Chain A
């Protein structure tokens, strides 16, 4: 029996965002958009989903006149990512 892959992570953009955030301490919206090649609207929606699940922490603030969004992976996010990779490995080994 194979465990099911976490549906929240098993999505191209959300997985890309989580992989990026796992490798850095924190990253802003522009960095994530550039590296994933996603549109601002789509990225914003996916970030909200990850934030609601508690996988990432989103800090929003105004710098002068510019709104900034900075994201950081949480402990729950790291654990979920770890579990996702383990399930993925079991699928590949089958």
Chain B
């Protein structure tokens, strides 16, 4: 393994290893996408059912959202600690993606605090707006072309907020989570599995 390579072999090794590392998907790459995707999807559906099919006008939904967010953050922190203990590999893409979504979480909490009460309904479009932007950057990072369709669906949902009644807002949010988090989450996990990183 000592100096037994020529220049061409050196170039081959460099190119092979760089492409191996760049395309590498860590085990459970989509777990954060799935956690938040399913949590918000289910909470949105629950909100939609509550206001459209029960006598409730959605009282207490703020508390439910706060609970879902707190639960999601708690599980994310536990996952983060486990990842730190079992690093395997930390890619630049994974690291940047983590920062993007951490920033999104801060914005999400700020929006929930700022738009509480009467303005509460506008939480959905406001979150979808920031979410679409974060998803667009993540899509560019991961270089998964079909995720641009997810981004496009999110943009359409953003426009639809302007035309449908408030009671359909949670349904739009559920759709955004389905195409933006749940499908990509399963895809990332599948990609890691195909690469044998399970």
Structural contact, A30 and B17, CB atoms closer than 8 A: no
Structural contact, A15 and B14, CB atoms closer than 8 A: yes
Cα separation A91 to B7 with both chains bound (whole Å): 7
| Min CB gap B79→A, angstroms | 16
**B interface vs A, CB < 8 Å?**
1-5, 7-11, 13-14, 16-18, 20-22, 24, 85-92, 94-95
10 closest Cβ pairs, A-B complex: A19-B17, A23-B21, A25-B90, A27-B89, A31-B89, A13-B1, A19-B14, A91-B7, A26-B90, A20-B17
Structural contact, A23 and B87, CB atoms closer than 8 A: no
**Among candidates B5, B17, B91, residue contacting A35 with C-beta atoms closer than 8 Å:** B17
15 A-B contact pairs sorted by A residue (CB < 8 Å):
A10-B10, A11-B3, A12-B1, A12-B13, A16-B16, A19-B14, A20-B18, A24-B92, A25-B91, A26-B90, A27-B87, A31-B88, A63-B86, A70-B87, A91-B7
Cα separation A46 to B3 with both chains bound (whole Å): 13
Structural contact, B9 and A28, CB atoms closer than 8 A: no
Q: Does A67 contact B (CB under 8 A)?
A: no
Enumerate chain B residues within 8 angstroms of A1, measured Cβ to Cβ.
Answer: none
Enumerate chain B residues within 8 angstroms of A83, measured Cβ to Cβ.
Answer: none
Q: Does A40 contact B (CB under 8 A)?
A: no
Enumerate chain B residues within 8 angstroms of A15, measured Cβ to Cβ.
Answer: 5, 10, 13-14, 17
Interface size, A (range): 20 to 34
Structural contact, B4 and A19, CB atoms closer than 8 A: no
**Among candidates A11, A13, A85, residue contacting B14 with C-beta atoms closer than 8 Å:** A85
Structural contact, A92 and B89, CB atoms closer than 8 A: no
Structural contact, A28 and B10, CB atoms closer than 8 A: no
Residue of A nearest to B8 (CB): A92
| Min CB gap B88→A, angstroms | 5
| Min CB gap B168→A, angstroms | 42
Q: A12-B9, A15-B13 are in contact. Are A28 and B1 (CB under 8 A)?
A: no
Cα separation A31 to B86 with both chains bound (whole Å): 11
